[in-house]
Amino acid sequence: MNQPELTHPALFINRELSLLEFNRRVLAQAQDERLPLLERLRFLCIASSNLDEFFEIRVAGLKQQAAFGASQRGPDGLSPAEQLQRISETAHTLVAEQYRVLNEELLPRLDRHGIRLLAPGQWNTRQRHWLKRYFHRELAPILSPIALDPAHPFPQPINKNLAFIVDIEGEDAFGRELSKAIVQAPRALPRLVELPESSAQASYELVLLSSIIEAFIDELFPGMSTLGCYQFRVTRNSDLFVDEEEADDLLRALQGELPSRRYGDAVRLELADDCPDDLAAFLAVQCRVAAGEVYRCDGPVNLVRLAALPDLVDRPELKFPPFAPSVPARIGDAGNMFEVIRRGDLLLHHPFQSFAPFLDFLRQAAVDPDVMAIRQTLYRTGTDSSVVDALTRAAANGKEVLVVIELRARFDEEANIGLANHLQKAGAQVVYGVVGHKTHAKMSMVIRREGRNLKRYVHLGTGNYHTGTTRLYTDYGLFTCNHTIALDVQRLFQQLTSLGRNTNLRTVLQAPFTLHRWVLDSIEQEIRAAREGRPARITAKMNALIEPQIIAALYRASGAGVEIDLVVRGVCALRPGLAGVSDRIRVRSIVGRFLEHTRVFIFENRDPGVYLSSADWMGRNFFSRVETCFPVLDDALARRIRAEIALYLADNAQAWELQPDGSYRQVSVSEDRRQSAQETLLADLAGGR
């Protein structure tokens, strides 16, 4: 029997189309009637935000490749031009579905609950008068209409900023005949305006900024006639280009590049559904987008702005019930984190368990007279960061504080530059990682003098040191003072600062040096076990799986008899369930209240067999980032992780199963048999569901 060619394009799902499929699963949450209504609206906004970033980065990159005539095809065999065509078809369908869900499902249900988003035709006389006063008081003074003529060319709108094209006629004060004008809404303006109780007819009545501007646009053009006003928004290429080999100072180079993000090449034009074809064509020409890059919107052109609505509405019954992340009893009994870690390794699963123990770890280190030094990586941490506050205090107290900040964390570049400057002023040493490789590893180390010795305490995680996302993302964090692991972490920090070679790490795997080879070797070890008739199984959970060599190895493992269960939240290029290729591979995606972000790799014939990682199985993680993958050496913690992963494999409430053709089928069972991994973990680990 001929063996299948495991690198054939037919065996790979296109990365970009797989990402759009993930967005389809997120959008499905907005349609799920089992979820609280305002949370459904949040999911709609998340789907819209995801699509924004998809165009800014993924589509923008493909457009550049197509423009330069690139003919290189990915593992799936599609050229950049072919991918753009397929993306356009799928994305137009998704956008149409977003607005259908908003208009036919969410807005009518919100209305029935006394939450109304009022269009101009629904305003009563009192509301119209109040909104007109609001327009003149808050909007008119800062709006800058630009009539288009040879002296006033088309102003290129800022990336993703709300703008309006106005159809006008008549002469201006200088006797010029004008036909078009552009009005851009400043970003500082709120996109949702709540009507006062004195004029409201329901519990909550709100008006979109776009509706207010459209209703009173004629006030900006005295003496002229406005024939129409139509909202639009341009999405631009937002990927920053910095030649790191040529840049003498990466921070300064990035600072110089950041403003260009606002005015990159246009990749998408969104505009009001009722905009006349001639104006739409005019905008497309001015923005330099093709017809297939124009998206008609039956509602606000930026659905992300509706994410503010749940926060304006005090209706807890329409939101997820609150919960209190738990703190392990060991911590509550001791209080001192160094004492807790000395008793044994400690594992936290966020958001079900609190992030506070890590903050306590840093805060205690900052004031402990026996602590000599702190080492910390920061990829994303937020502008108002308790982590940075603790590091700043430690530096002020004379600790040796070294922080590796990844300045190139996409869309957090500006925030990270600010954090770097703040920490340097406080006396911390700040470095920016390695040229050509993003530092994506999540590591923290405290060096403490205990008697005659220096003892290292380490925290390793699968997610960022961001106090906000620890309430929204699932991630593991491991505390340990295991000598071998801690020594490996020290060597990794030394490598990031001195750039010396580390060839003798004993337990921690590192990208770009050892991780990829280790994963391939681990798969081969399972293959050998299966061929010898021994039990062989691979269970892995990650955010994305697209690296071709890993996928081909998994296909070989399936063919050899290895049972493979993969939980892949987002992009997956592997096709499961193909006869003779991937019969024994099952892939599922969990989309629920929290964003699944843990990376767990379990190989039955490895010892130890359970690993946590900062890396997904993607080329960029294996070859162009600094990543860590570390073993869980404590048997009880390893058993716990296995049990928690088993919950995800048994989930039949929020799970989607990947089909051979690249589509996903939602798992469906009767309500009495419903099992949700996230809900179970909330009940077991946190104070509430």
Residues 6+ apart with CB under 8 A from 509: 515, 518, 611, 613, 628, 629, 630
pTM: 0.92
Digit-coded pLDDT (tens) for 100-137: 999 999 999 999 999 999 999 999 999 999 999 999 99
Question: Closest Cα to residue 292, out of 99, 103, 48, 83?
Answer: 83
Q: Which amino acid is at 325?
A: P
Is the preceding peptide bond at 351 cis, omega within 30 degrees of 0?
Answer: yes
Rounded to an integer, the average pLDDT of 56-70 is 88
Rounded to an integer, the average pLDDT of 203-229 is 93
Q: Which CATH number fits domain 510-685: 3.30.870.10, 2.60.40.2220, 3.20.20.150, 3.40.190.10?
A: 3.30.870.10
pLDDT score of 254: 42
Numbers of helices and strands, H then E, in the chain: 21, 27
Distance CA 554, CA 548 (A): 10
Domain residue spans in the chain? 32-66+77-318, 329-503, 510-685
Check if 329-503 and 510-685 are the same fold: yes
CB 565 within 8 A of CB 542: no
CB 443 within 8 A of CB 459: yes
Digit-coded pLDDT (tens) for 547-584: 999 999 999 999 999 999 999 999 999 999 999 999 99
**Ramachandran quadrant class, 135 (left: phi over 0; alpha: psi -120 to 50; beta: rest):** alpha
CB 388 within 8 A of CB 423: yes
Give the whole-number percent of the chain exceeding pLDDT 90.
76
**In degrees rounded to 5, what are phi and psi of residue 517?**
-65, -40
Q: Which CATH number fits domain 329-503: 3.40.50.12160, 3.40.50.970, 3.30.450.20, 3.30.870.10?
A: 3.30.870.10
Task: Give the Cα-Cα-Cα angle 177, 178, 184 (nearest 5 degrees).
Answer: 160
Q: Say which DSSP state 54 is in.
A: I
Question: Closest Cα to residue 546, out of 567, 519, 572, 575?
Answer: 572
Name which residue leads in pLDDT, 670 or 54.
54
Name which residue leads in pLDDT, 579 or 332.
579
Distance CA 270, CA 443 (A): 41
The beta-strand segments (E) located in 343-433 are: 346-350, 371-378, 400-405, 429-431
Residues 6+ apart with CB under 8 A from 605: 525, 526, 528, 529, 534, 536
pLDDT score of 244: 41
**In degrees rounded to 5, what are phi and psi of residue 294?**
-100, 130
* 437 labelled catalytic: no
Digit-coded pLDDT (tens) for 341-397: 999 999 999 999 999 999 999 999 999 999 999 999 998 887 778 999 999 999 999
pLDDT score of 502: 60
CB 419 within 8 A of CB 425: no
Question: Closest Cα to residue 494, out of 435, 453, 424, 445?
Answer: 445
pLDDT score of 482: 97
Digit-coded pLDDT (tens) for 79-92: 999 999 999 999 99
Distance CA 28, CA 589 (A): 13
Distance CA 591, CA 569 (A): 7
The beta-strand segments (E) located in 394-508 are: 400-405, 429-431, 438-439, 443-450, 453-461, 473-480
pLDDT score of 34: 94
Catalytic residue among 350, 437, 440, 516: 440
pLDDT of 23 over the 70 cut: yes
Q: How many CA atoms lie within 13 A of 500 on its CB side?
A: 10
To the nearest 10°, report the CA torsion of 23, 27, 28, 32.
Answer: 150
How far, CA to CA in Å, does 461 sit from each of 193, 306, 339, 387, 465? 41, 33, 20, 14, 9
User: Could you tell me the pLDDT band of residue 670, with boundaries at 50, 70 and 90?
Assistant: confident
Residue 427 in tokens:
């006396």
- Tell me which CATH code domain 32-66+77-318 carries: 3.30.1840.10
Give the whole-number percent of the chain exceeding pLDDT 70.
92
How far, CA to CA in Å, does 56 sit from each of 88, 262, 264? 14, 11, 9
For residue 133, the tally of other CB atoms under 10 A from its CB is 10
